[in-house]
A = this chain, B = another copy of it.
Amino acid sequence: MKALPAFIEGYGEVRPFTGRTERPPTAPRAAVERRVARPGGQKLLAGLPEAFDACGLRDGAVLSFHHHLRNGDAVLNRVLDAAAEHGLQSLTVAASSIFPVHAPLVRHIERGVVSRIVTSYVSGPVADAIAAGRLPTPVVMQTHGGRAMSIETGRLLIDAAFVAAPTADAQGNLAGAVGPAACGPLGYAMVDAAHARHVVAVTDHFVDFPALPIDIPQGEVDFVVRVNSIGDAAGIPSGTTRPTDDPVGLHIASLAARAIEASGLLGPDFSFQTGAGGISLAVARDLAQVMAAQRVQGSFAAGGVTGALCEMLEAGLFRSIFDVQCFDLQAVRSYRDDPRHVSMSASVYANPFGRGALVDQLKTMVLGAAEIDLDFNVNVTMGANGRILGGSGGHADTADGAELALVTTRLGSAAGPKLVREVACVTTPGSTIDLVVTEAGIAVPPRRRDLAERLARAGLPLKPLEELQRLAERQHPCAPAAPREGRIVGVVEYRDGSVIDLLRAA
């Protein structure tokens, strides 16, 4: 690993990543002082300024947000606009993810309204502003599980959690499955609501008591604010929503599905997660055919859930879906209608210090990558050009947890090779990756000789990663980027809260 400073201004002491998830024998669930509701008291407030006052928010407060509406979310912008108008300064934004739609946050950074960001994913104008050094403190990039861990253990204390609620009642029961901006389960918000000092629901669908089905119960909500729109559910399926039809992508997907079949993991304990990329969706489709042909019913699919997984549930290929957030509207409908499609909090999903996370039960995870290096390290955080691309989300969590963490990737793109000698940023350590599937062959790390043997027996085209990398470099020549040595603009935490890498300005 690269050397890390012992202390980073605006972040604090650095505990370096040790090469694996360090778990203490016990972990605290932090104390929190919470408001006691008065019988007959009104949770419904006139607006956000009233909520800020009711929460006693001051300069420097930590506000949290969740990203179930993804690139359709209107709540983060609305709350920060109101906070700016309210005169609040130096806020920390703890948002589970930040999308291009959150561009107005850049202005709040410039004006000092927001001085610190903790997130698991950031793309678009906010990412660019951070990479350009416009945020006065380094962005803290956590994994989804690391975020849950930080909130539960009290490393990240939230003064007020703002919950974008597709449906709410006057008592603060919140439902994600119904309403004009229905988004499905509120898995990230569940953790915020359970641990924040104050919880403010923001809703555009206020109903007579009770708001059913309840995702977050009234016992975790202090205030409710009505707005005309919490966002546009059409923004949930940002990016790809259907399988790739590109021949190279289809070939990779087919190899990946065959590798899963050959891994020996298919059976009644099989479980599966995949993202929403075009290749991932094609893997799911191919795998569904394999499972159907073999009459396998697996245990669960998990995620980040797409319609592809819901169709596998409906086809009887899994007994259940565990869902922390929906990736498309088909998944939202499935969550609403199918009792086998259940919600989970981000803590149950991925908290490494919890009492058992779903990711740690996963048999197979299909991952994407911006870059992979010769140590199998994966980067989905920062491009060689210095642009922030996103971040871990659940990438590092699921790779660590899954028995078979499989990365699908093309050898390269117009921007250059995707298989590189050294990644610009380590999001997910190579020690947790079991398989890299490219159009030119499949690479298995040396520690998974068992897996290599199974794949070889199945006739799959195994190649040393070095060979694939050289090929990638040849096919996608690109001048190597200069190492970035400017000031630290981001601290990349691994799921256990250790620091695995830094983001630097040019």
Contacts and interface: CB of A to CB of B under 8 A. Distances in A.
B345 A219 contact: yes
The oligomer's copy count stands at: 2
A300 B34 contact: no
Contact of A355 (B34, B212, B354): B34
Given A27-B34, A35-B26, A171-B361, A299 B221 contact: no
Contacts of A24: 36
A172 interface: yes
B299 A210 contact: yes
A172 B355 contact: yes
Interface string A14-36: 00000000011111111111111
A157 to B, nearest CB: 12
Given A219-B357, A356-B171, A268 B208 contact: yes
Contact of A31 (B29, B172, B339, B401): B29
Interface size class of A (residues with CB under 8 A): 35 or more
Contacts of A345: 217, 219
A210 B342 CA distance: 10
Given A172-B356, A219-B357, A355-B220, A214 B32 contact: no
Interface in A322-352: 322, 339-340, 342, 344-345, 347-348, 351-352
Contacts of A360: 37, 39-40
Given A210-B300, A212-B340, A217-B344, A25 B30 contact: no
A36 B30 contact: no
A137 interface: no
Contacts of A352: 36
B26 A210 contact: no
5 contacts: A28-B32, A37-B356, A210-B300, A219-B354, A222-B355
Interface of A: 23-41, 43, 154, 171-172, 199, 208-210, 212-214, 217-222, 268-269, 299-300, 319-320, 322, 339-340, 342, 344-345, 347-348, 351-357, 360-361, 401
- For the complex of A and B, list the 3 residue pairs with the smallest distance between their C-beta atoms, beginning with the closest: A39-B360, A31-B31, A37-B356
